[in-house]
Structure 1
Amino acid sequence: MTIVTIGGVTIGLAILTATLVRWYPGYRTLKKKPIPFLGQLLPFLLAWTYGVLAILTVGGFVGWIADTTLWISNWLGDVALVWGVGGQAGQSASGGTYLPLTQTGGALVLLMTVAAVVAAKKSKYGADIKAGAWCGICLGTSAGVAGFAAVPLAQAVNVAGMHLYGVIG
């Protein structure tokens, strides 16, 4: 598992910021009818959840893609921090203990991978799905709120996988 750096977290937060700025319809509009506008964030949020789970996979093709994406994001973010604003690159504090996915949890993440790939190619929300997955990969192992969300997500997928495959014991 690749460890996230400050640059990687910055890339994840930049993706989240850009998405929220593009989405924001204005205070009055949100006050009048929030549900349709909040629904527009759903593809990004679902893909973000997938990205967090993808970075928690410990091996295989999905884990390799997620680790490579995080490695590239770390590098890009570190370069942006050093050359863009004169900051310093460095390792981010990790989110602590990570719950590994069980066999059935991993199988569920594989099914989610199929859904994410098809949705990114066929849906009109393809850009939001790609950005959400990238953001989730960058923030899934961070020490912030997003990193702490990884444990409950992993537990939920592990339990859902056990129920789906009928391996409750």
Structure 2
Amino acid sequence: MTYVTIGGVTVGLMILAHYLTTWWPGLKPLRKDAVRHAAGLLPFLLSWAYGALTVLGIGGLIGWTARTAVWITSWLGDVALVWGVGADAGQRAGGTVYLPLTQTGGALVLILTVVVVVASKKSKHGRAISSGAWCGATLGTSAGIAGFAAVPLATAANWLGGTVYGVL
């Protein structure tokens, strides 16, 4: 299991803040057409959920990639904290209790990996998709931020995987 540091959570929050800042249409346009503007958040939020799923006990190449991204992000965040503001580095941001994915839940994550990779390359929302997945993987191991999402995401993936593969 890979744990994110305070620096890693900081980088994840910076990705989130960057996306929300660039997305923000302003209060008046948001009040006028809230549904259309809120729909602009969907690619980021869905890929965020995928990124969080990849750190919920997934092994193999996908799990290794997610854990490596978390490790690199934590290292970069720690360097930024030390050199940027003089804070201490390497402190664990806290863990959470993970609900393991079943075999069919893991298979669903593999299918979602193909979808996310292709969508990030072919979609006009590619940048939002890739940054959302990175943000989700980074914040998915933090108890304070995404710990609340681990159980519903894993439960949904397990249920959907069981439903899809139960039909076949």
TM-score bracket for the superposition, by shorter chain length:
over 0.9
Letter of the aligned partner of 2:109 in structure 1?
A: V
Tell me the residue number matched to 1:152: 152
Count matched residues: 166
Q: CA deviation at 1:81?
A: 0.6
Q: CA deviation at 1:145?
A: 3.8
Which deviations, in whole Å up to 9, do the C-alpha atoms of 1:77-131 show, x marking residues without a partner? 000111111111111111x210111100000000000000000010011100000
- What secondary structure is seen at the aligned counterpart in 2 of 1:165? helix
Tell me the residue number matched to 1:93: 94
- Check whether the contact 2:3–2:94 (CA below 8 A) recurs between aligned residues: no
- Check whether the contact 2:58–2:106 (CA below 8 A) recurs between aligned residues: no
Q: Which runs of 5+ in 1 are unaligned?
A: none
Q: Which runs of 5+ in 2 are unaligned?
A: none
Distance 1:67 1:160 in 2: 24
Which deviations, in whole Å up to 9, do the C-alpha atoms of 1:19-75 show, x marking residues without a partner? 000000101111111111111111001100100001113310000000000000000
Distance 2:55 2:79 in 1: 22
Tell me the residue number matched to 1:50: 50
Q: Do structure 1's residue 30 and structure 2's residue 30 form an aligned pair?
A: yes
Q: How does 1:1-169 map to 2 (within 5 A)?
A: 1-89=1-89, 90-94=91-95, 96-166=96-166
- What secondary structure is seen at the aligned counterpart in 2 of 1:166? helix
Q: RMSD between aligned alpha carbons?
A: 1.0
Distance 1:118 1:98 in 2: 28
Distance 1:54 1:85 in 2: 31
Letter of the aligned partner of 1:162 in structure 2?
A: G
- Check whether the contact 2:57–2:98 (CA below 8 A) recurs between aligned residues: no
Distance 2:109 2:99 in 1: 14
- What secondary structure is seen at the aligned counterpart in 2 of 1:56? coil
Q: CA deviation at 1:5?
A: 0.7
Letter of the aligned partner of 1:37 in structure 2?
A: H
- What secondary structure is seen at the aligned counterpart in 1 of 2:82? helix
Q: CA deviation at 1:150?
A: 1.2
